[in-house]
Structure 1
Amino acid sequence: MNYFKQILRFAKPYKNYAVLNIISNIFYALFGTLAMVSLFPMLNVLFDKTKQLNIKPVWTGISNAKDYLENYLNYFVTQKANDGHDDVLIFMVVLVICMFLLKNFFGYLAMYFITFLRNGVLKDIRNELFKKITHLPLSFFSDKRKGDTIARITTDVQEIQGSFLSILELIVKEPLMILFTIITMFLISSQLTLFVFIFIPVSGFIISRIGKSLKKHSDKVQTEQGHFLSIIEETLGGLKVIKGFNAEDIFGQKFKDSTLRFYKFSNKLLNRQNLASPTSEFLGILVIAILLWYGGQMVLNEKSLEAGLFIVYMGLAYNILTPAKAISKASYSVKKGNAAAERVLEILNTSSPIADKPNAKTKTDFSKAINLNKVSFKYEDDLVLKEFTIEVPKGKSVALVGQSGSGKSTIANLVTRFYDVTSGNITIDGKDIRDLTKHSLRNLIGLVTQKSILFNDTIKNNLLIGKENATDEEIIEALKIANAWEFVKILPKGINTNIGDSGDKVSGGQQQRLSIARAVLKNPPIMILDEATSALDTESERLVQVALENMMKNRTSIVIAHRLSTIQNADEIVVLNKGEIVEQGKHKDLIDKKGVYYKLVEMQSFG
């Protein structure tokens, strides 16, 4: 129940539906009980056991409620008979039908109102989860499988929805039905009802023992589901490699192993869950059997209970079985849902280490320089940057070069604040970026990454991510600057052409130019280019390089370069090795030095 207290906050906007559900359930339980009681006068008419009563009974208090109600029914039937109505039985049948009709009508209303609550909670949890996933830092997902995250936002949330309904049944609908039924049973025979209560705790104990391990098994099922969803996601993303290396059987076996574990865990979970209903029904029938023996003694030997009332009493006792079974199933569902809630809340309760400060400022312009002051950073244990210091003045381009693992891309991640520095600081116009809102900081920056990240949508919608309200003319202008309009204009639907999953319907060079066009459309004062040409062939690189040069005009740029031929015109080249600056200067000066940069250029020229 602990986790569901946290989930309950999502029900607040739908509390009116909860209130209407509770009211409907009260009437459902009331008419459900009255439906059974209404059989009594009909049985008396059938067996001709109705006492002739011509004087209207008087209410003398709750202690005599049973006698008053019984006498009133007899008086009512007697009056009907005296008035010459031979259709008393028909009237009683209609009464019974009305009671059952009202019971089912309010049962439907209860489910009608709970539907809006359930689906509303489902929608809001999913929206909150998605928002949280997009706001958490990249570091949170570095160790997590994508499939597991997908499982949490889909199947785990669905599990919570089912359990959430179970809780409302657990605390409102079924207990009310049991309460009203037991009150009526007490009114009929307190002696017999007290006898029933001896067996109820025993039944409850046996049922609870069965459900104890449900949460553990449910957690295993949901974790394994996340695992095979990850295998699907990785397989679809890497089909070229899998087919190229004839690795279909390897991944097929991985998937089979995962689904086999899922099969075994699911069998254990469902078999325990399925045990709930027959166990509770058998225990209920056992209680009914004992009632038949004990109540039969009262009717036949002691004559302390009327036969008609005993039949109604047995109906009421059986009437408890259905809600009791529902409560036992709901309690299992809650235990199962508890595991799902724990997995969902793990994400929702994760606090982002890169959250905006309460008094964070909004920055809308860039006028002087970006400064990295003695910046050190580590992802885990070892420092990847060590007291790194550079200045990037407005309108200038600074290129970062060095071997893989030297810390170049880390600088891009720190300036965009995907990660926070371990020590030192980064400032824009003298203001620490940690004192600015992330939204306003990233509004100042355009990012082109080594891998073109495009979405399964049209070219236009991919570019509108850069500027949501851009016109078609602005989009075309951005495509021209990015050297992409030449190939876009000959596509079947132009900018409205869908480019497929990850942009796979166009070539690598075309994908990169679309990424550049997106950054151009955003028109930010600062550009970060993270090895934007390293994955391209020579022809594509030349076209992309022209696009980059067009984009960088009059802009402040930090260029992370793998191919050194692309950064010879940079205002400043910074050479890194193991997170430290080893050389710094213009291309010609660094070549003349014949140091680390010269060796890197020579190696690439030779290659």
Structure 2
Amino acid sequence: MSKTRDKIIDVGLFKRLSRFIKPYKWVFVAVFLAVIFLAISTAARPYILQQAIDHNIATRTLEGFLPYIIVMGVLLLFEVVCQLVFIFYAGWLGQNVVKDIRVKLFNHMLKFKMKYYDNSSVGVLITRAVTDMERIADIFGQGLFMIFRDLLTMFVVSAVMAFMNWKLSLIVFAMLPLVLYATRIFQKYMKRAFEEVRTEVSNLNSFVQERVTGMKILQLFTREDTEYKKFKAINERHKKGWLKTVWYNSIFFPIAELSSSITIGLIAWYGGLNTVVDESASLGDLTAFIMMIPMLFRPLRQIADKFNTLQMGMVAANRVFKVLDTTSQINDTGTQEVSQFKGNIAFNDVHFGYVEDEEVLKGISFKVNAGETVAIVGSTGAGKSTIINLLNRFYEINKGVITIDYSDIKELTLTSLRSQIAVVLQDVFLFADTILNNITLNHSEITEAQVQQAAKDIGIHEFIMSLPNGYHYNVKERGVMLSSGQRQLISFLRAYVTNPSILVLDEATSSVDSYSEQLIQNATDKITRNRTSIVIAHRLATIKKADKIIVMDAGQIVEEGTHQELLKKQDGYYRNLYEVQFMKEEVA
């Protein structure tokens, strides 16, 4: 266990959190003032009671009793107001700080390379952005201010005790080291337990998210029992982590209560003797001390509990800041802003691998002239989809140069590069929203009229209007309300409506019905016309229409030419591919 991990409060981490408080500094100050007033008024009440007992109740004197009652009432009213300010604005501050951190985190995650998401668990990232954020809010709402209030209350109460009767105070103070030591041990072990709990929560979120997303696969391959057992094991570890915290609480809180009860008993015994024998303690002293002991011990017990909340928040903050500190963004150092490309594309000796020392592309070079349609064919794993990823700078190449209109794409701003390249992927992703919003992605400059006209242009307007509510039909999560072919048609329209300079198309139709396939073919012909297009081709019709075909194998370009040119090569890779895969389609 490292020293850093065992710190009560990570000062560096707290300083970092405090930067998010600056916009709300006056609220922060108001809450702290409320805390100070609460501590003072809490300690003042026993003192007022002591004065009332000694001067009026014990002597049975009515004169001067009313002012004590009025002062006590004012103090209680003042406490109510301060409690209201404290509780509401402490929570308000926590939620606003968390809102700012969450926005910053999400904005940071939007800029990550695809490689980061390839290696990261979605469930863990969701935990960071949602659950961990609530723990950070608790730092302010239930942790930091509560601890400060309790510490200040203890200090003021101790001062009042010493002022009223130093002998009785010594008895109380003699018990404090025991509780303080128990609190420190408790806090140390609770922090470790909570870190374990947070780890298991992340594992649980990741497991559930992945299995719910892939439920169809689990059921298709009858893996329900296996995954059920895995879930039980993860849930058991999560339960054990929480039971550790329950165990530590069950030990500490009885010790704290017992210490308080013993102290009250000692005060009643010793103070009672002093009151009767030598009158060194008054009845008011005895009553006030019995009233103040819980005010001293209960905050100490609560501090231990709030330290748990504070530490859970600090652990969560540390995890969130680790994501914020991750430098996995594409370096957007380009300075060229291009509103429209002509469409000349060139790959020059491009090397790339998703994993170090394992190249997927091994020095490929090719050119696409403006307005051309280039089809890329090859076996699975040849590197076809990688070309799409590199053209959009989702990943950084290891060696070589990619240019558009003779400019290195690294010299272009990411926004201007990606805004002029539309991509239709084989695996279509739709959000749980309307068809219209899935097409425009809430782009303010694309109107519904433009979307409808674009749909008519590529021949899918009637299909959309046949759905309930037409363009305002909610497709639900990942577009489950639509077939795979319908989802692909929506993705075609999404690409076409942006009027891109360059189109990249993965036109897989293996699971599409014949009607949707014909619509997709028509849409493909429309959106590729007079536009630079790179097509990962799966259909012979698209390949034949291409101006050039690039044949890939094992990360290299093995052949290049038109359909007819490549067929003339005896024992050529494309000819063999055509005879094995495409000839059946042509005969059919």
Q: Distance in 1 between matches of 2:562 and 2:535?
A: 14
What do the CA deviations read for 1:145-180 (whole angstroms, capped 9, x no partner)?
A: 222222222222212222333442355312221222
User: 4, 7, 12: which is aligned to 2:22?
Assistant: 12
Equivalent position to 1:378, from 353, 362, 365: 353
Query: CA offsets, 1:75-121, max 9 Å, x none?
Result: xxxxxx8xxxx564344333323222222321221112112101112
Q: Is the partner of 1:557 in helix, strand or coil?
A: strand
1:202 equivalenced with 2:178 (yes/no): yes
In 2, the alpha carbon distance for the partners of 1:189 and 1:41 equals: 13
| Larger deviation, residues 232-241 vs 494-503 | 232-241
Q: Is 2:54 the counterpart of 1:110?
A: no
Matched-pair contact (CA < 8 Å) for 1:151–1:222: no
Is 124-133 or 489-498 further displaced after alignment? 124-133
Corresponding residue for residue 413 of structure 2: 437
* 2:38–2:82 CA contact under 8 A, matched in 1: yes
Amino acid at match of 2:383: G
Q: 1:170 to 1:125 in 2, by over 3 A?
A: same
| Corresponding residue number in structure 2 for 1:543 | 519
Q: 1:535 & 1:414 partners in 2: Cα distance?
A: 27
Q: Conserved in 1, the CA contact under 8 Å of 2:345 and 2:402?
A: yes
Contact 1:481-1:520 within 8 A present in 2 as well: no
Q: Which of the residues 471, 487, 500 maps onto 1:511?
A: 487
Q: Which residue does the alignment assign to 2:200? A: 224
Q: Distance in 2 between matches of 1:10 and 1:279?
A: 38
- CA 1:256–1:48 in 2, change beyond 3 Å: closer, same or farther? closer
Is this contact kept in 2: 1:29–1:177, CA < 8 A? Answer: yes
Partner of 1:234: 210
Given that 2:349 and 2:399 are in contact with CA atoms closer than 8 Å, whether structure 1 keeps it comes out as yes
1:601 aligns with 2:584: no
* SS of aligned partner of 1:470: coil
Rg comparison, structure with higher value? 1
The 5 A counterparts of 1:21-100 are: 21-49=31-59, 86=62, 88-100=64-76
Map Cα deviations across residues 309-339 of structure 1 (whole Å, 9 max, x no partner).
3432342333212322221111122223333
1:412 Cα deviation after fit: 0.5
SS in 2 for 1:383: coil
CA distance in structure 1 between the aligned counterparts of 2:323 and 2:382, rounded to whole angstroms: 32
Separation in 2, partners of 1:152, 1:339:
11
Change in CA separation of 1:36 and 1:206 when aligned onto 2, cut-off 3 Å: same
Does the C-alpha gap of structure 1 residues 478 and 293 become closer, same or farther in structure 2, counting only changes over 3 Å? same
1:396 corresponds to which of 344, 366, 372:
372
Q: What is residue 68 of structure 1 aligned with on the other side?
A: none
1:312-323 equivalences in 2 (<5 Å): 312-323=288-299
Task: Indicate the residue corresponding to 1:496 in structure 2.
Answer: 472
Amino acid at match of 2:486: Q
Q: CA deviation at 1:485?
A: 1.2
Deviation of 1:596 (Å): 0.5
2:502 maps to which of 526, 535, 547: 526
Q: What RMSD in Å do the two structures reach over aligned CA positions?
A: 2.4
Aligned residues: 572
1:53 — aligned with what? none
The answer (yes or no) to whether the contact 1:147–1:231 under 8 Å persists in 2 is yes
TM superposition shift of 1:385: 0.6
- What whole-Å deviation, never above 9, does each CA across 1:377-407 have from its counterpart, x for those lacking one? 1111310011111222221122221111111
Q: Could you state the TM-score of these two structures normalised by the residue count of structure 2?
A: 0.91
Change (3 A) 1:194 1:428: farther
- Distance in 1 between residues matched to 2:131 and 2:247, nearest whole Å: 20
- What is the alpha-carbon distance in structure 2 between the residues aligned to residue 549 and residue 276 of structure 1? 74
For the pair 1:354 / 2:330, whether they are aligned, the reply is: yes
Unaligned stretches of 5+ residues in structure 1: 51-80
Partner letter of residue 525 of structure 2?
E
TM-score, normalization: structure 1? Answer: 0.88
Residue of structure 2 in register with 1:70 after alignment: none
Q: 1:119-164: per-residue Cα shift (whole Å, max 9, x none)?
A: 1122223222322232222211223222222222222221222233
